[in-house]
Each structure stands twice: as C-alpha cells, then as structure tokens.
Amino acid sequence: MDKLVHFLCGLVIALSVGLFTAPYIGLIAAVLAGVAKEIYDIKRTKFNILDFVYTAFGGYLGALILYLFKLWKIF
C-alpha cells in the first residue's frame, strides 16, 4: 500500500506542476519531492530506495501523459 501512495503522489505532483509549466518540470518536481521525502525518512526511520523509485515512476508517468496530451493537442 505504501508503494501505491508513493506512486500516486509522484503522479499527482507531476500532473499538477507539469500542467502549468512543462511536463519535464513536473517530472523534476516529483523526483525532488521523492528525494526530499527520503532525506526526511533518514532521520525518522531509514532510506528506502523503492519508495523513491515508485515516486519517480509516478512522476515519469504523469510527465508522459502530459507530453502525449500536449503532442496530440488535447489541451
């Protein structure tokens, strides 16, 4: 369940930021959010690379969706 939350957060961040800027900016924002969360977790629990990967993959999918929508001129 935790990995799904990380994936969805990356997706939402990429879509939200990328919609108003550019898809790659949304991807960068999702990756930075994943890194920031894992740095925060180092002090609380432990760094989990899979949490970061799922967040980044969600961001990648969000950026890809936006890129394709803009390519096809859907919005």
The string of pLDDT tens digits covering residues 40-52 is 999 898 889 999 9
CA distances from residue 21 to 25, 29, 44, 53, 72 in whole angstroms, order as listed: 7, 11, 33, 23, 17
Residue 5 pLDDT class (50, 70, 90 cuts): very high
- Model pTM score: 0.93
The angle formed by the CA atoms of residues 67, 28 and 12, to the nearest 5 degrees, is: 65
The string of pLDDT tens digits covering residues 7-51 is 999 999 999 999 999 999 999 999 999 999 999 999 898 889 999
For residue 12, the model assigns a pLDDT of 98
